């Protein structure tokens, strides 16, 4: 059986990694939105929809 303290440490590490992933996702989404706005403002090439899978 795995000690509870070990499981809590793993859970804390996973929560920290999830938080980093969420922050990176939101930062990337914001960058994409800014790029879309710049493209729209300047009338240059189109930027596609935000797709976190690509």
Per-residue model confidence as pLDDT tens digits over 1-54:
889 999 999 999 999 999 999 999 999 999 999 988 887 777 656 666 767 776
Contact (Cβ atoms closer than 8 angstroms) between residue 29 and residue 47: no
- Contact (CB, 8 A) for 40 and 19: no
21: its two tokens: 């992933």
Place of tokens 């009338």: 43
Quick one: which H or E segment has residue 2? none
Q: Which of 30, 35, 23, 32 is nearest to 54 (CA)?
A: 32
Residue appearing with tokens 């922050």: 23
* pTM, full prediction: 0.67
């Amino acid at each position: 059986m795995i000690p509870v303290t070990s499981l809590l440490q793993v859970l804390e590490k996973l929560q920290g990694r999830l938080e980093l992933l969420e922050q990176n996702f939101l930062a990337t989404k914001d960058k994409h939105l800014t790029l879309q706005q710049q493209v729209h403002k300047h009338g240059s090439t189109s930027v596609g929809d935000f797709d976190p899978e690509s």
